[in-house]
Amino acid sequence: MLYHSTNDPSHRVPLKEAILRSLPPDNGLYMPDTLPVLGEDFWKVWRDLSFQEIGYAVAEAFFGEDVPEDALSEIVDGTLEFDAPLVAIGKDNHVLELFHGPTLAFKDFGARFMARLMSWLTRDEDRMLTVLVATSGDTGGAVASAFHNVPGTRVVILYPKGKVSGLQEKQLTTLGGNIEAIEIDGTFDDCQRLVKSAFLDRELSERLNLTSANSINLSRLVPQSFYYIHSAKTLDNPPAFVIPSGNFGNLTAGLLARQLGLPVAKFVAATNINDVVPSYLASGEYQPQPSQSTISNAMDVGAPSNFARMQALFGDSWDEMAAVIDGLAFNDEETRAMIRRTHVESGYAIDPHGAVGLLAAEAWRLAHPGTPTITLETAHPAKFLDVMEQELGTGSVAIPERLAILADREKVAGSMGADESAFKDWLQTR
């Protein structure tokens, strides 16, 4: 299979380049030349398949031409070492819990698959693959955990000093082994600038075999489509999927699942006040904005990086996109009220991102009675303990063991100013 850039369909590269490069040189996004469809054989039996079997069928449809069966099933099994349970919290109201992975967020699915695929793609190279990531929080933790102990790889994470939460910092700085963290005396944008400067230095980039692990990498999206199919298999009717969204990678993965043949009533793009996509769906005009801070901060995105892929999937037609996706946006006050009301009505503790989703799901069901909704719960509520305890009281959310034990681990991190040549020197000496 070849992959092309959304900006230039004639720029085509093989799988290895699309994954290791992440971004085409023209700043578009990579898309497969043909979008795979799962055949009748699959859709005859899909309700009886396990999560792993569904994952393998999807991965095979995308990567089967390039990756042999035994390697691909190892990649899928290694990715799916935890479940994604579907929990009913009311009539037609389902929550898909995507937080049972090592870093308690849905990003574990994409990061784990990407790490294993990259490791396989570079299996014959004697050079180490160096993965550079700049993070403002959750992505770095998922990537660090995913690459930890993966042979032939090492990870360098840059994060802004004092600007990530205490537990997030521990997720970046306590793994050791092939994971190194550097705290940068600067902002997240400085961290991104340093990473970019290393890539732009062709000699350095070539010699250290640098790659990036950002969220527009196609190999992070494909495994996220597994759980759309897995969750819908137990419902009698095609559901509407409600997706709390920021960069719209998760929603794009849902569109890929639909393309594979999954029957879907609708996708509902749920956002906080950073509502560029719901506004576009309502008006047909796409107007990126500076991002605004909210309590669902992983969705504070004013220019969603996967929007170009969504447009490509609908042939740049607003009408076609608006026929498949509805958009709804909510503010922090509404989100807080939903956290409280969900707890009162069903005893369920929903995190602020999921609460934006439940608001959208409720509004959508009101307009479409009888159709079940599946709301993606993108993170464990313990990751947002401050907000949860403000709304539900102290001790209302149990902290999972794998998060709690980090508190006592010792942080190991380098530190440096936001200086490009100092950073490049540091990389050289490794």
Ligand X SMILES: *Cc1c(COP(=O)(O)O)cnc(C)c1O
- Shortest CA distance to 75 belongs to which of 107, 49, 113? 113
Nearer to ligand X, 60 or 244 (CB): 244
Rule CB under 6 A: say whether 141 interacts with ligand X.
Answer: no
Fill in the DSSP letter of residue 347: -
> Cα separation of 148 and 146, whole Å?
6
Place of tokens 């994470």: 157
Q: Which stretch binds ligand X (CB under 6 A): 245-253, 322-330, 385-393, 420-428?
A: 245-253
Nearer to ligand X, 75 or 379 (CB): 379
Minimum CB distance to ligand X, residue 366 (Å): 24
Beta partners for residue 3, in sequence order: 13, 32
Rule CB under 6 A: say whether 299 interacts with ligand X.
Answer: yes
Rule CB under 6 A: say whether 249 interacts with ligand X.
Answer: yes
Rule CB under 6 A: say whether 36 interacts with ligand X.
Answer: no
Please, which residues have CB within 8 angstroms of residue 289's CB and are 6 or more apart in sequence?
274, 276, 302, 303
Nearer to ligand X, 160 or 244 (CB): 244
Q: Look up residue 370 and give its amino acid.
A: G
Residue of the chain from 118, 379, 392, 397 that contacts ligand X (CB under 6 A): 379
Nearer to ligand X, 43 or 314 (CB): 314
- Shortest CA distance to 325 belongs to which of 311, 338, 337, 343? 311
Place of tokens 């956290």: 339
Rule CB under 6 A: say whether 248 interacts with ligand X.
Answer: yes
DSSP string, 183-244: EEES-HHHHHHHHHHHHH-HHHHHHTTEEE--TT-HHHHHHHHHHHHHHHTT-SSPPEEEEE
Nearer to ligand X, 42 or 248 (CB): 248
Rule CB under 6 A: say whether 244 interacts with ligand X.
Answer: yes
* Sheet hosting strand 30-32, strand order edge to edge: 8-14, 2-5, 30-32
Nearer to ligand X, 226 or 248 (CB): 248
Rule CB under 6 A: say whether 107 interacts with ligand X.
Answer: yes
Rule CB under 6 A: say whether 382 interacts with ligand X.
Answer: no
Rule CB under 6 A: say whether 230 interacts with ligand X.
Answer: no
Nearer to ligand X, 42 or 348 (CB): 348
Minimum CB distance to ligand X, residue 29 (Å): 13
> Cα separation of 234 and 248, whole Å?
25
Nearer to ligand X, 122 or 245 (CB): 245
> Cα separation of 111 and 158, whole Å?
17
Nearer to ligand X, 211 or 247 (CB): 247
Rule CB under 6 A: say whether 145 interacts with ligand X.
Answer: no
Minimum CB distance to ligand X, residue 138 (Å): 4
Rule CB under 6 A: say whether 5 interacts with ligand X.
Answer: no
- Assess contact for 172 and 164: CB atoms under 8 A: yes
Minimum CB distance to ligand X, residue 378 (Å): 3
Question: Environment class of residue 343 by beta-carbon count within 10 Å: exposed (0-12), middle (13-18) or buried (19+)?
Answer: middle
CA 210 to chain centre: 21
Nearer to ligand X, 178 or 231 (CB): 231
Binding residues for ligand X restricted to 111-140, rule: CB under 6 A? 138
Nearer to ligand X, 63 or 267 (CB): 267
Rule CB under 6 A: say whether 246 interacts with ligand X.
Answer: yes
Instruction: Quickly count helices (H) and strands (E) in the chain.
Output: 19, 14
Minimum CB distance to ligand X, residue 131 (Å): 18
Minimum CB distance to ligand X, residue 244 (Å): 5
Rule CB under 6 A: say whether 247 interacts with ligand X.
Answer: yes
Q: Which stretch binds ligand X (CB under 6 A): 18-26, 45-53, 241-249, 398-406?
A: 241-249
Residue of the chain from 59, 72, 86, 105 that contacts ligand X (CB under 6 A): 105
- Shortest CA distance to 288 belongs to which of 297, 279, 296? 279
> Cα separation of 389 and 381, whole Å?
10
Residue of the chain from 134, 216, 260, 298 that contacts ligand X (CB under 6 A): 298
Output the CA torsion sign for 217, 223, 229, 230.
negative
Site string for ligand X, 65-104 (x = CB under 6 A): ----------------------------------------
Please state the φ and ψ torsions of residue 38, each to the nearest 5 degrees: -85, 140
Which residues sit at the interface with ligand X, rule CB under 6 A?
105, 107, 138, 244-250, 298-299, 353, 378-379
